[in-house]
Amino acid sequence: MSTVVEAQGVSKRYGDVAALDQVSFTLHENRIHGLLGRNGAGKTTLMQIMTGQNFASSGELTVFGERPYENEPVLSRVCFIKESLTYPQHFKVRHALEAARLLFPRWDEEFAQTLLADFRLPLNRKIRKLSRGMHSMLGIVIGLAARAPLTLFDEPYLGLDAVARHLFYDHLLTDYAEHPRTIVLSTHLIDEVGDLLENVLLLDQGRILLDTTAEELRGQVVTAAGPAAAVNEFAAGSEELHRETLGRYARATLRGRFGPAERDRAQQLGLDLEPVSLQDIVIRLTTARADGGSRPRPDRATDPGKEPIR
């Protein structure tokens, strides 16, 4: 599988503030990657470096094997749709589409027209007079119809109602299946896009907290619910991310390895193992770090193959 983006020890500082701190990861081609994290985690800064709109203070980041900054051959294969795209004051919707048609070699005009009709975007309306939702729709149309080999969406859904957002997800999945490319989605609507994501890159305070496939992540985190004593026994050796207790009943969100043997053991202890949504996993991981780390039980077994959250 070819590498599209590779980062090695990338840091970005603004004075005493580290927006990115020794970030290393690889994005492989033809995958949908989720770039997740809280506000101020460094997501937008990272995407700006990936798209040549910023540069690292230290470290190395390459896109298609080359540094993207002021690199026209690389940037012609990249489309970055961000939260608040700006256009010339006089531009109408059709002017933005005409510019995109010239800018992106793989532009699909027929697909663009289909998207315009589905989103009900008026071609001759000035962009500055569009509602916030329509402004977001225009960015989505350009991002999808460009069919750039590397396409990044940074919170492109602001102002969109639920119907418009699901139209976007449906078109994204359908077109991605027919025209595979590398897509990076950065969003706070994690539950809505959770089923779209194949890989998850979680940033927190400028550092990589998690870099794994969505499938592996879901298999690593469960909530054990039942008698508190049984939960305590089952949690031994796992990383405890969160706990709720009510009398003799407890619910603990655990990170570890939960194969058939562990699930049989939970059943023998009278526990229910509940799946955890991707959004809840992100919340538990980032809040555990904010609280000073996860809460392993005193008798936790050390797993040398898994790095603890710090």
Residue 10 has pLDDT above 80, yes or no: yes
| Residue type at 301 in one-letter notation | A
DSSP conformation letters of 107-170:
--HHHHHHHHHHHT--TTSBGGGS-HHHHHHHHHHHHHHH--SEEEEESTTTT--HHHHHHHHH
Whole-model pTM: value is 0.87
Domains of the chain: which residue ranges? Answer: 3-205, 217-292
Task: Check: CB of residue 206 under 8 Å from CB of residue 19.
Answer: yes
Q: What sign has the CA pseudo-torsion 45, 12, 8, 288?
A: negative
Both structure tokens of 32: 């949908």
pLDDT tens readout for residues 266-280? 999 999 999 999 999
pLDDT tens readout for residues 183-240? 999 988 898 998 999 999 999 999 999 999 998 988 899 999 999 999 999 999 899 9
Whole-angstrom distance, CA of residue 146 vs CA of residue 161: 23
- Residues of the chain with pLDDT > 90: what percent? 80
| Residue type at 140 in one-letter notation | I
* CA distances (Å), origin 237, targets 49, 103, 233, 297: 39, 54, 9, 7
The residue among 74, 72, 73, 76 whose CA lies nearest residue 61 is 74
Residue 291 has pLDDT above 90, yes or no: no
Q: Architecture of 217-292 per CATH?
A: 2-Layer Sandwich (3.30)
Both structure tokens of 150: 């590397």
Q: How many CB atoms lie within 10 A of CB 229?
A: 11
pLDDT tens readout for residues 57-101? 999 999 999 999 999 999 999 999 987 788 998 999 999 999 999
Pick the CATH number of 3-205 from 3.50.50.60, 3.40.50.720, 2.40.110.10, 3.40.50.300: 3.40.50.300
Instruction: Say which DSSP state 218 is in.
Output: H
Q: How many CB atoms lie within 10 A of CB 76?
A: 14
Task: Check: CB of residue 2 under 8 Å from CB of residue 53.
Answer: no
Both structure tokens of 181: 């490319």
Residue 309 has pLDDT above 80, yes or no: no
Residue 38 has pLDDT above 60, yes or no: yes
pLDDT tier at 177, thresholds 50, 70, 90: very high
Instruction: Mean pLDDT check: name the lowest of 123-132, 171-180, 294-303.
Output: 294-303
Round the average pLDDT of the chain to a whole number and report it. Answer: 90
Q: How many CB atoms lie within 10 A of CB 26?
A: 14
